[in-house]
Structure 1
Amino acid sequence: MQISMKCSVAVHCLLYIWEARGKARVTSTLLAQSTGCNPVVIRNILSALKKAGLITVPRGQGGAELCRKPEQITLHEIYTALEPKGLSSLIGIHSCDGQACPVAKNIRRVLRRPYHKIEQAITSTMDSITLASMIQDLEQR
């Protein structure tokens, strides 16, 4: 289990957009070069970030910009923009429906509460991490 690579690429893109503000017009080609990803992948990620209201991208010419201050953008928002099913897709339960075993019949109910607690803890942690804090980490390196 891991958080999708799309999330790290999205954070990379957002950091780049922030760092390039006022210096360069940020395009999918430029971001593809920086991330090492295919420009199509970058355009899909930018589209998801735009749909989530995190960035704006003028049609045709590029020039992505943040829609909000970095302090107002959380890692959870970034992740959710890219993974619409959210964290519930991160923690799965194996399929054992129809088994006669009493454990198999009840495993989903048994794991529902602990998995929900894990999901809440991850969400809370991701909500406490802002793009601003990641910018600060980047600038300290």
Structure 2
Amino acid sequence: MHISTKCSVAIHCLVFICEYGESKKVTSELLSLSTGVNPVTIRNIVSALKKDGILSVKFGTGGTTLNCSLDEITLYRICNAIEPDFLNKLIGIHASPSCLCPVGRSIHGVLDSSYQNVREDLQKSLQNISMEEIMDKYHQQTENT
């Protein structure tokens, strides 16, 4: 139970596209080399980001570019594009507690509102971090190495 590594791969791809998309034709093969992830997985991630409107992909010759400004792309938007139900998967309740047990009968009611509060807090936190901030951190990091 965690945020999928696909989200960090998607962020990696977006950083790469921001950094090199103007000067290079960014393809799934190139992103695969940078991330160490299979090109098919990269294509699935790019497809999800394209469907959300974050990326544009040129057909035929290939190449991926940003479709919106960095401040419009939040970590929540990225994670939600990659895995639409990620908050419920991250903070979910087991599906089949025993109705014969007093705890089993009550556990969903006990946890539902608390877990919903956690989901909402996490969503707000992820919505407050943009790719603009990620790119600033990336540039700071590369200046220090």
Common topology (TM > 0.5): yes
Could you tell me which residue of structure 2 aligns to residue 53 of structure 1? 53
Q: How does 1:1-141 map to 2 (within 5 A)?
A: 1-141=1-141
Partner of 2:95, secondary structure, is coil
CA separation in 2, counterparts of 1:33 and 1:21?
15
For normalisation by structure 1, the TM-score amounts to 0.96
Q: CA deviation at 1:86?
A: 3.2
Q: How many residues align?
A: 141
2:84 match: secondary structure: coil
Which secondary structure state, in structure 2, belongs to the residue aligned with residue 119 of structure 1?
Answer: helix
Percent identity over the alignment?
Answer: 43
Distance 1:41 1:26 in 2: 15
Q: What is the CA deviation profile of residues 27-58 of structure 1, one whole-angstrom value per residue up to 9, with x for unaligned ones?
A: 00000000001100000000000001100001
Structure 1 residue 85: deviation in Å?
1.3
Give the TM-score taking structure 2 as reference length.
0.93
Question: How far does residue 91 in structure 1 lie from its aligned partner after superposition?
Answer: 0.9
Structure 2 unaligned runs (5+)? none
Coordinate RMSD, CA, aligned: 1.0
Q: CA deviation at 1:103?
A: 1.1
* Amino acid corresponding to residue 110 of structure 1 in structure 2: V
> Which residue identity does 1:26 align to in structure 2?
V
Unaligned runs of 5+ in 1: none
Q: How far 1:61 moved relative to its partner?
A: 2.0
Instruction: Compute the displacement of 1:121 (Å).
Output: 0.5
Secondary structure, aligned partner of 1:65: strand
